[in-house]
Structure 1
């Protein structure tokens, strides 16, 4: 699948020769000999899932580092990666390459799902009704998922509902936000009736009715249609999902697609291009990773120092909350003669709290925080940047908290509280006694922050609850006090910064897209 920009160039060349577009190479998979059997559609569906990885590989910059949970290590020796830093500081613009990467990934996914759905108008003879529903339901859910990410990040976006086959239909202007949400709702509603709940654990990683009900519920929660959201979340509680007893176990690779997993982006280590590498992003840049990953994985890591847990987040954990030690670790080390950070060991954060709030910086700290959720040693593979960690999208604890929120917003705090307390008590905390809607609203927001830390929910939660501007403005003041390298213009959280710029390349290809205000 090619992105829309490249497709226009290809279509222009193809139009020069009818023979070119009607002859198909023998012995190769192509339009002329594919989509002829049920197995072809399964292969195409696997291809429609693949852009989830491309999006997840960069989404944490836009959806977690944008908020107050994470920041970055400032390395004065190496000023590469300034585009990612801009996202955290609200200094980004339309030329930001990370924004372009995510946009492209989501539209690749949309094009692939559109091809499948168009081809399903004439399904192959060997595909029974059950198989048809599985293919259509998963394709619709994937398309809705890609659009749900795009509309929350960019506002109004182009709405493609059929395969892009030529230059003429490749250029589509943006649809209003309401129209995009209407299509998301339609896709998820239809998929809900086609797909089944999970039947066994561990799951295969494919989309099920549980994922569709969860995402459609979140769509309604985002639109403040709480009466529609609550029944969907309640239905998920009847599908066999359960919290794992130990929070830390949720993120072990041995527990991928467990009873707590509603949906996660699938990765697989190896040489077929499906491996993850999140831990390399999250540990420091260092010429020697052995003190973190083990002697058999002693590499020069040039990708690190991103998504670093903030002191603001650490301060929000209650005493005794087991999620703190399960989510955040500390790497102790020393500086070599070139002032490079050399890790010595990974230790518990519980005995290494940095109350000064400056646990960053290659010349100021010999202890670096990092996210532990994708830390699954030992690393014995000879391949660098090659791990087996999935990326969690929806977990059952998330469903319970969203159900509590949807009930509370309907004026039912008493009905909401038990679902929230299931999450708190798993973390080793006493049950909340919040009795009124306002206090429970604050408690739910707090629980979501610490339970789902580093899972790309925090920025969307701040947007959805109308707290992005006040929270991030106050946080920005503290950041600029702590880190002198921040510019005075950083953390200017104006309303236009609640969505990102349409990527520059897209507006050059199609000037009709226009640009979001303020960019």
Structure 2
């Protein structure tokens, strides 16, 4: 089936679910947690914008923010993944992302931009309502902090993909309110920092009754990552060390558990986009995972087959690295303990390799009666990322010894069944960190951005058509046109 038709079908499912939420707001909106678990009245927050904040989380699940656009921007542009599916399916998107033939009119580009600003506008409404109503109770301050943390994430992702973007803080009452000139990257960064500093002070360490809501650990992790992008190594290390020292998070000892339903909001989770499954099995469709599922027939019709690992990624794993079998699913081989048995060969399957982190476990298919994975959360931040960012910041700043840097790396390697790193100099440790980030975070929309910020993209991706201008995507032409020229195009496009 053509992927455009499938997207329309999934969008209809999502809209139907969204309409259900809206029409039943008075009855049970506040009785549903982000994962659809039933809450007691005692567990509910007391913030004046509680319902609106839940609406923000709902918007992060949409196809344009929590869907497959995330794959095209963060994964398929890297050397770890390629378009996949069949040659003709989504060929235009393949050209635009896989082959670096960027176009301002690409539909995924427009969805990504619009979706992020829709979330930002929802955050603005919460923040402005709290201010205009003079709400100062603890619950409302937490609501404000949640909105600021999510707004910061949206601006961080926009800044990462487009560079200069408009900063909009107004509640959108008329369409013209949605347009403003682009701000410099420095100004966008400062705006993000300001939001996150408020958020980290007012958010709780954990949400025992509300899995998936923003925490102070999430705000600190995002702030540390932004400092890393700025090469502000000392501030990055200090902030990431706060996350480590909180002792809230740990590495999940089970790599298999990490990327299946049981790993949702687990010990390693810092922030995830929630997939909603209620107690009666009701699901809110999201195409992030089904778009990556094995493209086969019958019991192996698990998805559309996009975002598949490259041979280069397969070869990047060291012998004995347990992460390889938990990242790479191979046609013609057993699925590695996930209950599905042996995959068909390729051909007839269109691809040799598939993203194991998006694999549909057999028992879940049986439990919910569907082949497409709709129950696994999208991991935005996990503790392994924090450890590796802290190692990088500590190594570059000299804030900690080479032995301490190696210890952070070795925590990751130990879980993967590997011996301690032999790296000891700053240069060797830098290379070791780059390697660990690649294989630990493989297929998690990190690799392309890492290559760009390290200055390695031209060397690694040049043979695929990458040029320095491809670090940033062109602003969607639709946004420029609708703004009447207030928003201007990025240079080189």
Aligned length: 435
The reply to whether residue 59 of structure 1 matches residue 33 of structure 2 is no
Contact 2:170 2:177 in 1 (8 A): no
Q: CA deviation at 1:437?
A: 0.5
Q: Which residue of 2 aligns with 1:112?
A: 122
Out of 440, 458, 462, which is 1:469 matched to?
A: 458
Determine which structure has more spread, i.e. the larger CA radius of gyration: 1
Which aligned pairs between 1:24-173 and structure 2 lie closer than 5 A? 38=46, 41-54=49-62, 55-57=65-67, 58-73=69-84, 75-76=86-87, 78-123=88-133, 129-173=137-181
CA–CA distance in 2 between the matches of 1:230 and 1:385? 39
Counterpart for residue 393 of structure 2: 406
Residue 377 in 1 paired to residue 362 in 2?
Answer: yes
After TM superposition, give the deviation of residue 197 of structure 1 in Å.
1.2
1:200-256 CA distances to partner (integer Å, 9 max, x unpaired)? 4x9610000110110000000100111111111111112221111122221120121
SS in 2 for 1:263: strand
Counterpart contact for 1:72–1:85, Cα < 8 Å: no
Query: Would you say the 8 A contact 1:330–1:348 is kept in 2?
Result: no
Query: CA shift at 1:382, angstroms?
Result: 4.0
5+ residue gaps, structure 1, are 1-26, 31-36, 294-300, 333-344, 350-358, 477-490
- Greater shift, 417-426 or 265-274, is seen at 265-274
Q: CA deviation at 1:145?
A: 0.5
The equivalent residue for 1:506 is 479
Cα distance in 2, alignment partners of residues 319 and 384 from structure 1: 32
Residue 307 of structure 2 aligns to a residue whose secondary structure is: strand
User: 2: CA distance between counterparts of 1:67 and 1:503?
Assistant: 21
Residue 269 of structure 1: CA displacement?
Answer: 3.9
Residues 180-209 of structure 1: CA deviation (Å, up to 9, x unaligned) = 111000000111111121264x96100001
Give the RMSD, CA atoms, in angstroms: 2.7
- One of 431, 453, 456 as aligned partner of 1:442: 431
Pairing 1:290–2:299 present: yes
Q: Distance in 2 between the 1:471 and 1:89 partners?
A: 14
State the shift of 1:167 in Å. Answer: 3.7
Check conservation: 2:283, 2:374, Cα contact below 8 A: no
What's the TM-score, normalizing by structure 2?
0.82
In structure 1, what is the equivalent of residue 30 of structure 2? none
**Shift in Å at residue 88 of structure 1?**
1.1
For residues 389-425 of structure 1, the C-alpha deviation after alignment (integer angstroms, 9 at most, x for no partner) is: 1011111111111111010001342321111110011
Contact 1:203 1:258 in 2 (8 A): no
Q: How many angstroms apart in 2 are the aligned matches of 1:199 and 1:48?
A: 17
Distance between the aligned counterparts of 2:383 and 2:426, measured in 1?
23
Residue 412 (structure 2) aligns with: 423
Contact 1:261–1:392 (Cα < 8 Å) also in 2: yes
Change (3 A) 1:348 1:112: same
- CA apart distance, 1:266: 0.4
> Any unmatched runs of 5+ in structure 2?
1-22, 27-44, 338-343
Match for residue 17 of structure 2? none
Cα–Cα, structure 1 residues 272 and 186, in superposed 2: closer, same or farther, change >3 Å?
A: farther
Instruction: Check 1:367–1:117 CA distance in 2 against 1; reply closer, same or farther (3 A cut).
Output: closer
In 2 relative to 1, CA 284–374 (structure 1 residues): closer, same or farther, beyond 3 Å? Answer: closer
1:329 to partner: Cα distance:
0.8
Following the alignment from structure 1 to structure 2, what is the Cα–Cα distance between the partners of residues 452 and 273? Answer: 27
Question: Are 1:280 and 2:290 an aligned pair?
Answer: yes
In the alignment, the residues of structure 1 paired with residue 24 and residue 206 of structure 2 have an alpha-carbon distance, to the nearest angstrom, of 35
Contact 2:321 2:417 in 1 (8 A): yes
Return 417-426 or 365-374, whichever deviates more.
365-374
Tell me if 1:247 matches 2:231.
Answer: no
- Contact 2:47 2:137 survives alignment (8 Å): no
Displacement, 1:42? 1.2
